[in-house]
Amino acid sequence: MRSYDGQFSDNRPLKRTRAEKERQLKELKETLAGFKPHQSPTLRTSIIGKIKELMEELAAPPPPPRERRPSYPGSEFGAPRGPRRPRPTEG
């Protein structure tokens, strides 16, 4: 089956929130601690690398908040809005 442009299976990283990254870091540390001594060294180095990468991402300051769109009069949340276009009359 062919993929279409923009599909999640395209080779691009998933965007995770800070809380998801912290949860994943915790799970990876628990996994590494639960490894037996005879565990594959390649798997061990792979998990250690992912842990380091996540720790670097979490140590970086969060990005600045995005600017809000300019507010227009009457565009506040919860404010009643009129219809966008008149309804057709029946007749």
Label residue 67 by pLDDT band (50, 70, 90): confident
For residue 87, the tally of other CB atoms under 10 A from its CB is 6
Q: Which pLDDT belongs to residue 82? A: 66
**Quick check: 23 pLDDT over 90?**
yes
Report the candidate in 52, 47, 43, 5 with the shortest Cα–Cα distance to residue 28: 47
Domain ranges of the chain: 18-58
CA 88 vs. chain centroid, Å, equals 43
Which pTM was predicted? 0.57
